[in-house]
Structure 1
Amino acid sequence: MSASVQAPGTPMSVVEMVDLEPGIVRVTMQDRVHKNTFTDALIAGLSEAFAQIAERGDCKVVILTGYDSYFSSGGTQEGLRELYEGRIQFTDKDLYSLALNCPIPVVAAMQGHGIGGGFVLGLFADLVVLARESVYTANFMKYGFTPGMGSTLILPHKLGPALATEMMLGAGTYRGEDLKLRGVPFTVLPREQVQAHALELARSLAEKPRVSLVALKDELVSELRAQLPVCIEREVALHAQTFHQPEVRQRIESLFGR
């Protein structure tokens, strides 16, 4: 039977962790009020869920997903304001490495829109499934500041340098079907098929011994894990150069959510 495990202090509607089948855990972001932006509650829920998974010896694979037409919408407007004012850095709340540092494979079932940091969050998973109708964007430069959250590492790694450069510099929006035409190395399906396909992938992994899954994941992501701290340091330095322009504040106020 499936068992629901909730992160302490986090409303059930924000993050839910459920055992779907033996060895398969699904972590669902479902903050419908804030469209899965990086609120404190969502960050706490995700962090707690992945911490629990890391401590469990019976888990073999994680499915990370959102709700309806949203996977994750990235930073909140208030969070961007705090970054602009220098009160926080994106490194203060580490979401970007949750999937990468999870000891077992993570499948990102991105049935809904992945916006900015929300798109990056999904790309750090080991396997990614996109929806044909959903929008995916690395839209940091839309607000006038350079990308963060490890974007400059994971986008070229997963999408290829040409498409990643276009997405980061142009900050455009791409539907899953557009990315499929551009040759992204992910499965792209109609939205209603994404969850079922992610579960098929998870089942194929859960058939394998956990020790072998952990050992192979460690090997496959070892270079990314080694490169990420250097990348983050460079992105923080770029933020120091680009985030505190008056035009950035104007864009945060006028363009957020549009």
Structure 2
Amino acid sequence: MAVVDLAEAAPGILVLTMQDRVNKNAFTDEMTLALLDAFETIAAEEQAKVVVLTGFDSYFSTGGDQSALLRLHEGEGNFATTSLYSLALDCRIPVISAMQGHGIGGGFVIGLFADMVFLSRESVYTTNFMKYGFTPGMGATYMVPLKMGTALGHEMLMTARNYRGEELKQRGVPFAVLPRDQVLPEAVKAARQLAEKPRVSLITLKDHLVAEQRRRLPEFIQAEVAMHQKTFHQDEVKEKILSLFGR
């Protein structure tokens, strides 16, 4: 089974499902290439008006896999080699992230790049970069405070602790937080509302609404890569990746 599935749920509505059950939707090389290819396909779909990005069962995405983190520790490339993190932002049509399952590290951040976000009460959401001793990447230092609020966003980035969706709801996050089985249906319902509008109008409005994000993001990516040069190559980071990954 392919690690992603792209299907038309209704006229103008595409649902992109990450479904790598073996790796819990981690950003393996296969998943990364599949997502890049899927968004290229979406860009060529001239009738598409909205994309719903979701996962399977209790997982949305678990972010970078252990082997990728170890390669970064060894200085083999950086997370900005591809535009994986900003696929939703760069997409011309609106993207809705239906994070019905756990969103971990970059897996949570990639969902926050969407134009609309739905979370589940039961799932865990975390920006766990500092758990392993390296500073956040994937645009997290910009997108997390922007979408979650400055105080909560900074707390999430610095403590790297886990938050259930219900706790985030109580903390006042500006997203719908629903029982897990309602997340995708409600996201599709929102997609239907968008699909009623002309495609040109949706694209034009999105371009206006996210113009500042698209303009500012590169400076944050550059700063995050520079911070990784200082923090990723510590022996302690490798030890934490080997001992704590997946816990």
Match of 2:166 among 174, 177, 184: 177
In the alignment of these two chains, the number of paired residues is 247
Match of 2:115 among 123, 126, 132: 126
Pairwise CA distance, 1:256: 0.1
1:191 corresponding residue in structure 2: 180
**Over aligned residue pairs, what C-alpha RMSD do you find?**
0.6
Match of 2:10 among 21, 24, 28: 21
Which has the higher mean CA deviation after the structures are superposed, 248-257 or 92-101?
92-101
Distance 1:200 1:15 in 2: 22
Runs of 4+ in 1 over 2 A off after TM superposition: none
Which aligned pairs between 1:32-181 and structure 2 lie closer than 5 A?
32-181=21-170
Deviations 1:75-127 (A, max 9, x none): 00000000000012001132111000000000000000000000001000000
Distance 2:43 2:208 in 1: 17
Q: TM-score, normalised by structure 1?
A: 0.95
Distance 1:195 1:250 in 2: 38
Distance 1:234 1:25 in 2: 34
Distance 1:15 1:40 in 2: 13
Q: Which secondary structure does the structure 2 equivalent of 1:96 belong to?
A: helix
Q: TM-score, normalised by structure 2?
A: 0.99
Which aligned pairs between 1:213-252 and structure 2 lie closer than 5 A?
213-252=202-241
Deviations 1:191-225 (A, max 9, x none): 01001100110000000000000000000000000
> Percent identity at matched positions?
62
Deviations 1:30-77 (A, max 9, x none): 000000000111111111110111111100000000000000000000
Letter in 1 for 2:152: L
Distance 2:239 2:37 in 1: 35
Distance 1:79 1:93 in 2: 13
Pairwise CA distance, 1:163: 0.3
Distance 2:101 2:82 in 1: 23
Contiguous gaps of at least 5 residues in structure 1:
1-11
Letter in 2 for 1:221: V
